[in-house]
Structure formats: structure tokens, C-alpha cells
């Protein structure tokens, strides 16, 4: 199984699928699209979504191309994490997902390999010319045989990416909006646990009291709420509306909760 994720929109992902299906290693692979509208050229937001989604899959090769540095000297890498492999640019986008997929609870139990990049067919589309063939080759060899692939070698290092840490104390918490989803839910880096014991009550968000509820429809349509999303983090939301607009926040905004 090869999953595909990118910020390409359309139709560029289809060229990657064609390359995989035409490659001896990938011709029999089950292909599953994760998303091709990841926040464009936003490595951190893409890394967040991949960390949330990829661990739900059975063992797979995950091709990920959010690559604003394409054509520069940024490396191309494969990460082996547990029974999974991640293939993409060395800009951090793969790393949070690798930690989530790493076996045995040891978040650092992953291995990074560098892809030897020959002269690709283009300088602007390594998804098609570098990463898709690499993903097909990894699929064909098997995730536990990466050492056998001639174009892979252990990497000397890699670009790390960590999400900002929130501040939590007895009076409240200060965090940041990591991403806004398609519904307009503003997803923060605040762990859902800060709302333990507060459901059915309220917290102050930037000074205004806002209800804390288990889910959206527990308040009136159009009203604001604070909840814990499916990722386990605090969300600012509106029932049947957009939380980002109602709270006046966007990706990167600071969020202050107090109780």
C-alpha cells in the first residue's frame, strides 16, 4: 500500500500515480490518496495533518510532497518508522508522523535514509521525478529491506520539526492555532486534558466566557464553543459555522484560555 499526500491540488498528483503504477516496484501497489490539498507550502501544517492521519493506516509506504524547496539542495529522504516508511523532502514534514508511527512507544525509534538524486527530469517536480519512483522502489523491496536499495544510504542527519509547546498553569493556558480545518475549526496545540472537569461549564477565551462542550451540536447553531477535536487537542469552534471567523483567529494565532 502506498498513500499519497501533497499540496499539489490537481492534476499533478496523477502524474505521480502514473509513475508509481508504471514502476516495477509499484505496479501492484494499492494507492490511497490521503490529501492533495494540504495547506500549500506550509510544512508545519502539513506535518500536523500527517501526524494525525497516517497512524490510522495499516503498514504502508507514505509518499508526502509538500516541498517549497524543490530544486534547491534540500535532501530527499526515506524514514522507516515501525512497519511504515515515509518518503519525501527533508524539510521536517515527515518527522512528526514518523514519531507517531515509531514502534514501541519510543518516539525516536525511526531511521532516516538519504535518497541519491540523479539528474531528474525536472527541477520543479520532484514528486514525480524523485519521490514517486523512490516510493515505488520502497514498496517493491519492503519496508524492512531499505538497506538493500542502491539509491538509499543512512542519512547523516535530518531537518527536525516540532510543534510549539503550550504554557499551562493553574490559571489558564496559552497556546497557538496550528491549523484551521475545512469546517473552520481552529485546532490548537493545547492538549484536550486542560478541559478535564470543565465540560458543561465554560472557560474564558481571550477574556470572553465560552461554553465547553463534548461536541458541536451541544450548543445552539451559530454559537461559539470550546471542545476537544478528534486529534485530542483543544479546538475553537462554532456549531454549524466557522470557529476561525467567530474567534477572529487563523493559523499561528495565539490563544489564551483562563479559568
Q: Which of 235, 231, 133 shows the shortest CA–CA distance to 177? A: 235
Distance between the two ends of the chain, CA-based, in angstroms? 46
**Which is closer to its own copies, CB of 22 or CB of 116?**
22
For residues 2 and 135, is the Cβ–Cβ distance under 8 A?
yes
Q: How far is the CB of 69 from its own copies (least distance, A)?
A: 5
C-alpha grid cell for residue 241? Answer: 459555522
Q: How far is the CB of 125 from its own copies (least distance, A)?
A: 3
| Residues contacting residue 142 through CB under 8 Å, at least 6 positions apart | none
For residues 63 and 17, is the Cβ–Cβ distance under 8 A?
no
For residues 235 and 243, is the Cβ–Cβ distance under 8 A?
yes
**Which is closer to its own copies, CB of 83 or CB of 250?**
83
Q: How far is the CB of 114 from its own copies (least distance, A)?
A: 19
Secondary structure (H, E, C), 198-232:
CCCCEEEECCEEEEECCCHHHCCCCCEEEEECCCC
| Residues at the site binding its own copies, with contacts judged by CB under 8 A | 1, 3, 5, 8-12, 14-15, 17-19, 21-22, 27, 31-38, 40-41, 49, 52-58, 68-72, 121-125, 128-129, 181-183, 214-218, 227-230, 232, 235, 239-240
**Which is closer to its own copies, CB of 48 or CB of 113?**
48
Q: Which of 203, 222, 169 shows the shortest CA–CA distance to 213? A: 203
**Which is closer to its own copies, CB of 97 or CB of 115?**
97
**Which is closer to its own copies, CB of 98 or CB of 113?**
98
Q: How far is the CB of 142 from its own copies (least distance, A)?
A: 18
Q: How far is the CB of 225 from its own copies (least distance, A)?
A: 11
Amino acid at each position: 500500500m502506498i498513500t499519497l499526500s501533497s499540496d499539489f491540488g490537481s492534476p499533478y498528483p496523477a502524474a505521480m500515480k502514473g509513475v508509481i503504477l508504471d514502476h516495477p516496484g509499484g505496479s501492484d501497489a494499492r494507492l490511497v490518496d490521503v490529501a492533495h490539498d494540504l495547506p500549500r507550502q506550509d510544512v508545519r501544517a502539513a506535518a500536523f495533518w500527517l501526524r494525525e492521519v497516517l497512524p490510522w493506516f495499516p503498514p504502508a509506504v507514505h509518499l508526502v510532497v509538500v516541498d517549497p524547496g524543490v530544486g534547491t539542495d534540500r535532501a530527499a529522504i526515506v524514514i522507516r518508522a515501525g512497519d511504515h516508511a515515509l518518503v519525501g523532502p527533508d524539510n521536517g514534514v515527515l518527522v512528526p508522523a514518523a514519531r507517531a508511527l515509531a514502534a514501541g512507544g519510543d518516539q525516536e525509534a525511526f531511521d532516516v535514509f538519504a535518497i541519491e538524486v540523479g539528474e531528474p527530469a525536472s527541477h520543479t517536480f520532484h514528486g514525480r521525478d524523485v519521490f514517486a519512483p523512490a516510493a515505488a522502489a520502497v514498496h517493491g523491496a519492503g519496508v524492512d529491506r531499505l538497506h538493500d536499495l542502491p539509491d538509499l544510504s543512512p542519512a547523516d542527519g535530518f531537518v527536525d520539526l516540532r510543534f510549539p509547546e503550550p504554557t499551562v498553569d493553574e490559571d489558564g493556558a496559552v497556546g497557538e492555532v496550528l491549523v484551521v480545518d475545512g469546517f473552520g475549526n481552529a485546532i490548537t496545540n493545547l492538549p484536550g486534558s486542560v478541559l478535564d472537569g470543565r465540560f458543561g461549564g465554560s472557560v474564558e477565551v481571550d477574556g470572553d466566557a465560552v461554553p465547553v462542550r463534548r461536541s458541536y451540536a451541544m450548543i445552539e447553531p451559530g454559537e461559539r464553543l470550546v471542545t476537544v477535536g478528534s486529534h485530542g487537542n483543544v479546538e475553537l469552534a462554532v456549531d454549524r459555522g466557522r470557529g476561525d471567523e467567530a474567534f477572529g483567529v487563523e493559523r499561528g494565532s495565539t490563544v489564551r484560555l483562563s479559568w
